[in-house]
Amino acid sequence: MALYRLIYVSQAVSGLEYPDLVEILDKSERNNRKVGITGMLGFGDSMFLQVLEGSRRVVSQTYNRILLDKRHVNAELIDFSEIECRDFGVWSMKVVQLGNQVEVRDLVLKYSSSDTFSPIAMTGKQSLHFLRELTELYQRGAMSNN
């Protein structure tokens, strides 16, 4: 069956806190595993950048559900493409909080005009490369705490 990738960006509502992220992650892992979705959710500077991979039907259904969620607003679709294979197959979902780590700032700068995380200004390709490299960083355990 054909595989699809969807990437979108959205803005967290004010007052969104760490427990909300944990709840989103728990739900996402459980639901996505059931339907064969994999992906990643980056969160920084009150912005979400999420990639979902799976069949066209389940990616569409999941995205439609996510859009109704009151914990974020102003979602913008960045990419929806047919893909050969998954890039984020290790995770049914993973939330990565983008803080001030030097590795993250370097990566943001690599794909943006400044080192401030602003996924809304990224092209589809830039956001995909950014998320791929972020995954690699994370898997290597190469993110420091400062």
Ligand X SMILES: Cc1cc2nc3c(=O)[nH]c(=O)nc-3n(C[C@H](O)[C@H](O)[C@H](O)COP(=O)(O)O)c2cc1C
Binding residues vs ligand X (CB under 6 A): 24, 27-28, 31-32, 41, 48, 50, 52, 62, 65-66, 69, 71-72, 93
The two tokens of residue 120 are 């809304």
* d(C-alpha 32, C-alpha 23), whole Å: 14
* d(C-alpha 48, C-alpha 95), whole Å: 10
User: Would you say 77 or 142 has its CB closer to ligand X?
Assistant: 77
Q: Give the DSSP per-residue string, 29-66.
A: HHHHHHHT-EEEEEEETTEEEEEEEE-HHHHHHHHHHH
**Min CB(8)–ligand X separation in Å:** 9
User: Would you say 48 or 111 has its CB closer to ligand X?
Assistant: 48
User: Would you say 6 or 107 has its CB closer to ligand X?
Assistant: 6
**Min CB(103)–ligand X separation in Å:** 23
User: Would you say 46 or 144 has its CB closer to ligand X?
Assistant: 46
Give 42: exposed, middle or buried? Use CB within 10 Å, 0-12, 13-18, 19+: buried
**Min CB(102)–ligand X separation in Å:** 26
